[in-house]
Amino acid sequence: MKTRNITVIGLGRTGTSVGLALKRAIRDVTIVGHDANQERMQVAQSLGAFDAVQSSLGRAAAAADILIITLPADQLENTLAAVGDRVQEHALVLDLSPLKAAGQEWARTYLRQGHFVGAAPVLAASALEDGRRGPESARADLFQNSLICLVPSPTADPQAVETAVTLGSLLGAKPFFLDAAEYDSLVKGVETLPGLVAAAVFRAVTRSTGWRDMLRFAGLPFAVSTSALQDENEIAVMALQDRDATLRWLDAVLAELEEIRQWVAGQESERLSAYLSHLQAERESWLAERRENDWEEHVTPDIKPLSFKDRMLGYRGERDR
């Protein structure tokens, strides 16, 4: 069966950017958007990201040859449960939410048919500067010169994985592959941990005497360092998935803070300055590498994006259970 309908569930910055990128890359495919927030759907459609929006989650999923989910971790399980008996037999379900092992388990539990593949965009450095999350910040080129991390289960249908690779190339991203458990452990340090640290920083300030006066003068450093709190529900869900990994990251941060505390207590200005200078250089090096975004470690198939228009999704293998 030829791909005729692609549905995107979750119309924040990522989901709306997916719609814009696909509208620019392919023709003869209807791209539909769904979000529980009606205002987000209206904004996304006004930007031209979708041919249509569908307020019914079930109908949006049932019409899709490819179903792309771009939701926070705390919404994924309920969404898969809601669409589990609506997904078509041949459909690819591409999940861009941040929990991969849990996503695979929920897919096995709720999806009656279809082919589930986890994925995560690794955006170019220029895209990291915009901390907005709504559809108004979407860009058709958001995924250009970026990577897409694919996290298929060992039993994933090869044709479904190949279609996910092709879809990533249409967005402008090169694929690479990781195991779900490895991905989740790594993402704890760069997504879950910043959220928990943001919570600790904000609470420490707001529990202090005169905190209202203090917040009056809070500027960009405080706003940026606590911005992860915008995803408060997702942080909690991710922190409790693989609790041991979360505790290891928290212990590592506490050890760093304890060392800093000792230097401050001992007025060891040279050590503290050297420590901060070294880390700033490391950060600049990281940003330079992100600008290159050449992290690929596995050979992936060279699939031409134009072939996607005629790609058939009539899978014959066993569904990913």
Distance CA 138, CA 12 (A): 8
Whether CATH 1.10.3660.10 fits 182-265: yes
Question: C-alpha angle with apex 211: 205 to 213, nearest 5 degrees?
Answer: 135
CATH number of 5-178+297-310: 3.40.50.720
Residue 185 confidence (pLDDT): 86
Entry pTM: 0.82
Condensed to tens digits (0 to 9), the pLDDT of residues 16-60 reads: 999 999 999 998 899 999 999 999 999 999 999 999 999 999 999
Q: How confident is the model at residue 163 (pLDDT cuts 50, 70, 90)?
A: very high
CA dist., res. 96 & res. 270, Å (int): 44
C-alpha span between 179 and 176 (Å, rounded): 11
Beta bridge partners of 32: 7, 52
315 to each of 6, 114, 141, 227, 282, how far by Cα in Å? 17, 9, 30, 42, 46
87, 93 Cβ separation under 8 angstroms: yes
Q: Where do the DSSP E strands lie in 36-153?
A: 52-53, 66-69, 92-95, 115-122, 146-151
The pLDDT, as a whole number, for residue 150 is 96
268-281 pLDDT, tens digit per residue, is 999 999 999 999 99
**pLDDT for the residue numbered 158:** 93
Rounded Cα–Cα distance for residues 67 and 110 (Å): 15
Alpha-carbon gap, residue 93 to 101, rounded angstroms: 15
pLDDT in tens, 103-159: 999 999 999 999 999 999 988 777 776 767 789 999 999 998 888 999 998 888 999
Tokens of 81: 């449960």
Where does residue 221 fall: left (phi above 0), alpha (psi -120 to 50 degrees), or beta otherwise? alpha
pLDDT tens by residue, 224-251: 888 888 888 889 999 998 889 899 999 9
Tens digit of pLDDT for each residue in 182-221? 898 888 998 899 999 999 999 998 888 888 888 788 888 8
Q: Where are the domains of the chain?
A: 5-178+297-310, 182-265
Closest to 13 (Cα-Cα) out of 97, 98, 121, 132: 132
Confidence of residue 294 (pLDDT cuts 50, 70, 90): low
